[in-house]
Amino acid sequence: MEIYSINQFVANTQLAAGSCPFEVDKTRAAMLQVNFGCQNTAGGPLKKIYMKKGSMVAYTGEMKFKREDILEHGLGQMLKKAVTSKGATLVKATSTSARAQLFCADENKMVTILQLQGESICIDGNDLLAFEPSLQYKIVTTKKTSSIVSVGLFHVKLTGKGCVAILSHGKPLTLVVRKDQPIIFTNPEETVAWSGSVTPELHTDVQFKTFLGRGSGQSVQVKFDPRKGEGFVVILRGNLSNTLVMRYAPRNSAPNT
């Protein structure tokens, strides 16, 4: 075990001034560093971001935090926020200081930065850490209602050009949704994000024994059918061993063995 002097410890652990709006140090994969004043995706200095409520760890310089107004994005979004806590987790962080820095984290979850260039991505509300204001966002609902079960899945859809930071409990695993590949089913609790080009559907397998406490515990899955859109889905919000990923063989082909 190495022993450091105070000067060595500071030199080895301090963060350098950043040159990009969003950065993640390789040795601190669970910490997002936001560098205000750097050139943002829109072409001007970064002065504002949206971040997950409660994710602030520290900041330097002058900064203001304001919880998003429930009516800021219209009545339709307000109604969705009323039925899901995931719709009321955003805070605006604003700074006019050219050297201000903001550090965000959520427990020990890994932070991954994506740069959208006109695409759209849907992210589970719990796994959205921060994003640039140049991105448009709205709350989207995927529902499944039948005579024996009624469930819903709420997520945030981001569209446009800008950086977004997402969270996962480990290194994300991406499954490609493509017509020459089988249909993909995932556990809703382990589904982090998916491309806006795919159409997720909630798939239920509820039987009478489920109500007797003898079900598999995997009665609800998210279905990604490539015939309804190609793209990708990101999984691994918890332990991979608890993630349900079932692949069904496409039509006119033999099942995998």
Residue 80 has φ and ψ, to the nearest 5°, of -70, -35
pLDDT-based confidence at residue 250 (cuts at 50, 70, 90): very low
pLDDT, tens digit (0-9, with 9 covering 90-100), for 102-117: 999 998 899 999 999 9
pTM higher than the cut 0.95:
no
Q: Which two tokens stand for residue 252?
A: 């006119």
Domain boundary assignment for the chain: 17-168, 169-249
Q: Are 103 and 63 spatial neighbours (Cβ–Cβ below 8 Å)? A: no
pLDDT, tens digit (0-9, with 9 covering 90-100), for 166-218: 999 888 899 999 999 999 999 888 889 999 999 888 877 654 444 444 444 45
Pick the CATH number of 17-168 from 3.60.160.10, 2.60.40.2130, 3.40.50.880, 3.30.2350.10: 3.60.160.10
CB-based burial of residue 215 (10 Å sphere; 0-12 exposed, 13-18 middle, 19+ buried)? middle
Mean pLDDT of 20-26: 88
